[in-house]
Amino acid sequence: MGMAQRRLSAEDWTGAALAAIADGGLATVAVEPLAARLGATKGSFYWHFTNRDALVEATMQLWERACTDAIIDLVEAAGDPPRKLSLLFTTVLGHARSSRLETNVLAVAEHPLVGPVVQRVTRRRLDYVEQLFTEAGFEAGEARRRALLAYTAYVGQAQLAARLPDLLPADTGGQGAYLDSVLTVLLSPAGG
């Protein structure tokens, strides 16, 4: 933690806003508190942005870039589809902070500046997971359904991890067993 820096950039503000969303949700993205946190005042903010909405918009663009592209690229480096799904789940549920961010972003998807971004991102992720299930050998309709189940399970998991962590497996062993079980179930052969 160094001294407060002398001058701020727009990225400093969007970064702080993203952290605030992870901490307390979009409602805590308020100009004055953020300024205090950055060791500055509103004067700085209103030079970089026309108003709060502009900050929210820029922050959502940052989120879209940082929190979807990166993961897909990482996962694609793995081998077969089952391994990809496993890596996807472990990566995505590993860090508590990302769960909080995901959850708090989705929670305000009704906001006109947030909804379109969340919609794009979610659609893209769903398509990607569907592709993984297709590669794993499921026919189109079933692959879509499995992807939906996997993604809703992810969303719910992130939600519980962020809000009620006590209810999830606490020890590493339990988490591993749970992950194995989830993957086994999600990849179970399609019933006729």
Residues that bind its own copies (CB under 8 A): 25, 27, 103, 106-107, 109-110, 115, 118-119, 122-123, 126, 141-142, 145-146, 148-149, 151-157, 159-160, 163-164, 166-169, 177-178, 181-182, 184-186, 188-191
Query: Minimum Å distance from CB 59 to DNA?
Result: 13
Q: If contact means CB under 5 to 8 A according to the sort of partner, which of DNA, its own copies, none does residue 94 touch? A: none
User: Judged by CB, which is closer to DNA: 60, or 121?
Assistant: 60
- Interface positions, 47-86, toward DNA (CB under 7 A): 47-48, 50-53
Kindly state whether residue 37 participates in binding DNA, applying the rule CB under 7 A.
no
For the residues of 113-159, what is the DSSP string, one character each?
TTHHHHHHHHHHHHHHHHHHHHHTT--HHHHHHHHHHHHHHHHHHHH
CA distances from 122 to 17, 148, 151 (A): 21, 11, 9
Amino acid in position 104: N
CA distances from 132 to 18, 35, 49 (A): 30, 43, 40
Which of 192, 40, 13, 28 minimizes the C-alpha distance to 107?
28
Q: If contact means CB under 5 to 8 A according to the sort of partner, which of DNA, its own copies, none does residue 139 touch? A: none
Query: Minimum Å distance from CB 186 to its own copies?
Result: 7
Query: Minimum Å distance from CB 63 to DNA?
Result: 18
User: Judged by CB, which is closer to DNA: 9, or 181?
Assistant: 9
Rounded to whole angstroms, the Cα distance separating 132 from 134 reads: 5
Rounded to whole angstroms, the Cα distance separating 41 from 97 reads: 27
Among 30, 71, 107, 187, binds DNA (CB under 7 A): 30
Rounded to whole angstroms, the Cα distance separating 102 from 95 reads: 11
- Binding residues for DNA, rule: CB under 7 A, are 6-8, 29-33, 35, 39-44, 46-48, 50-53
